[in-house]
Amino acid sequence: MLLFIAGDCLAHGRSAGGSDAGLDIPEISHGEMAVISDYRRGIIALASQAVDTNEPFRRILNYAEIQYSYCLWGRMPGSVTDEESPFNECAHAYLAATKAVLMAMRDMPREAQVAGEIISAVDADMVGRGLTLITCRFSGETFNTADIIKPRWSQVPLHFASMASLTALAALFGLGVFALRRFLRPKVQSSE
């Protein structure tokens, strides 16, 4: 029983046995997260089209995409804005990596202008929304490409928005399976 609990506890944070060969990713504040999440799609699209890249850039971009999928593609309510969300730390990880990718593109000849425009828009948006000084318990945390940050699944039942979303998703899936079975069931003809 103790081994199960210990293993479950390790699964809630950084991956166990991660390599020390990963690349460090600077922290991101809670306020930056809220704004970077709005620009994420454009940043990743620009980075994906970048031609003059290096291995560290590609590794951080890959990490951003992996973390995004671990965080259920940013679809959990409150994952970015609610510090108590079981998905908040993994959202910090993928958004910190997204920010690192954006900052690296400032030094790329073909992407520098667009990256600079996005950075200016992010800065203006943060100031306009009053988010420049907003922090949370994960704001000072740095990340590493060797460590995958997983959602804190054991806290989902304690977080109403996450529990409601996953319950609704499970109900929709169940209804879909039920409807598909009814649709595919052979029709029995009466003998009368």
Of 15-19, 51-55, 140-144, give the lowest mean pLDDT range: 15-19
Q: Taking 70 as the threshold, does the pLDDT of residue 19 lie above it?
A: no
At 55, give phi and psi (nearest 5°): -60, -45
pLDDT at 5: 36
| Cβ neighbours for 111, distance < 8 A, ≥ 6 positions apart | 46, 47, 50, 105
- Predicted model pTM: 0.75
> How many other CB atoms sit within 10 Å of the CB of residue 40?
20
70-122 pLDDT per residue, tens = 998 988 888 888 888 889 889 999 999 999 999 999 999 999 999 999 999 99
132-191 pLDDT per residue, tens = 766 666 777 888 888 988 988 888 888 878 888 888 888 888 888 888 888 887 766 655
Which segments of 1-87 does DSSP mark as H helices, in order?
2-10, 30-49, 55-70
Instruction: Output the six-digit token pair for 74.
Output: 């940013």
Residue 20 or residue 29, greater confidence: 29
Residue type present at position 67: Q
